[in-house]
Amino acid sequence: MVELISRDEHEKLYLQLFEILKRKIENKEWTSGMQIPTEDQLCKMFNVSRATVRNAVLELVRQGYLVRQQGKGTFVSSNYISEGMIMTTVFKKLWVEDDTVFSKELLAKTVMMPVGDLSKELEIPENRHIIYIKVRWLKESEPSILQESFIPFNVCPHLIEEDVENQSIIDLFEKKYSIKITKVFNYFDIVTLNKEVIQSLNISQNAFAIEMIQKVFSGNTVVLLNRLYKKNDGNKLFIAFQRKAL
């Protein structure tokens, strides 16, 4: 079906064209990875000016429906999400706004088996080894956050020898071991804590804390599971999102 631009409507031409092209992608008329027609072709197809086409395409790129490849052309994005905004975030800043005010203290770095619901969370069999890392975040020598990280051993066997106090696990994955992070899920809840966490965070018996569970994927593989407990103090958990740059 060929949709045409209506010149009777007051809506701007480029916005109409944007909607038409967007529908082509959503209806899979233009499939993911496909190269879209050139600006000239689009001008002729819809009988509009070059500027109108350019503005419509730019808006689709900005919203993540299309990707431009220098010298090659414009393609339908392979992972666009039809609802909601496409945002980018910075992995380092997923937890706190400024992590330089915290000092970190390594409480444990060892290998164990996934007991409880860990094998389900990490999507591995119960007889696979995992690396367990426990780090306490302190601000002005007062404990604030307790971080427990679980990594399937075969994802990165050498992680056990790494300094995880001064480097983030995600940075090590990305920069040293070429494990590209493609997706992060975050879950938040308010919980009462077990004895062990209470001691580590230096808080009273019945205090509440925020639990943040973070599942980190590379492709479809869970490469890291973080459990963070943050007590009720002046520090805040922080996640920044930013509209994808043009």
Partner 1 sequence: MSNGKLVKDVMMGIFEYPHIPYWFSIEQAIKVVKASFIQTQKHMDPLAVLVFDEKYNLLGTVTLKDILKGLEPSFLKPPTKAQVPDEEKTGLSIVWDSLFSQESKKLAQKPVSEIMVPAKYFVDSTDPVTKAAYLMIHYDLPVLPVIEDKKKFVGIVRMVEVFDTISEEIIKE
- The site for partner 1 (CB under 8 A) is made up of 107-113, 115, 119, 125-127, 129, 132, 134, 153, 160, 196
Nearer to partner 1, 42 or 197 (CB): 197
Task: Give the 3-state DSSP-derived string for 91-106, with helices as H, strands as E and coil as C.
Answer: HHHHCCCCHHHEEEEE
Nearer to partner 1, 97 or 165 (CB): 165
Q: How many CB atoms lie within 10 A of CB 52?
A: 22
Nearer to partner 1, 58 or 107 (CB): 107
State the Cα angle at 150 between 148 and 155, rounded to 5°: 150
CB of residue 82 to partner 1, shortest distance in Å: 41
Nearer to partner 1, 126 or 142 (CB): 126
CB of residue 202 to partner 1, shortest distance in Å: 18
CB of residue 25 to partner 1, shortest distance in Å: 46
CB of residue 130 to partner 1, shortest distance in Å: 9
Taking CA atoms, 19 is separated from 22, 25, 38, 49, 158, in Å, by 5, 10, 18, 16, 50
State the Cα angle at 67 between 66 and 72, rounded to 5°: 125
CB of residue 63 to partner 1, shortest distance in Å: 46
| Residue 163 amino acid letter | D
- H/E stretch holding 42 reads helix 39-46
CB of residue 228 to partner 1, shortest distance in Å: 19
Nearer to partner 1, 79 or 199 (CB): 199
Q: Please tell me the distance from the alpha carbon of residue 197 to that of residue 95, in angstroms, as a whole number.
A: 18
Nearer to partner 1, 115 or 245 (CB): 115
CB of residue 224 to partner 1, shortest distance in Å: 18
Q: Please tell me the distance from the alpha carbon of residue 212 to that of residue 209, in angstroms, as a whole number.
A: 10
Angle, in degrees to the nearest 10, between helices 50-62 and 13-26: 50
How far from chain centre, in Å, is Cα 10? 39
Nearer to partner 1, 71 or 116 (CB): 116
Coil, strand, or helix at residue 107? strand
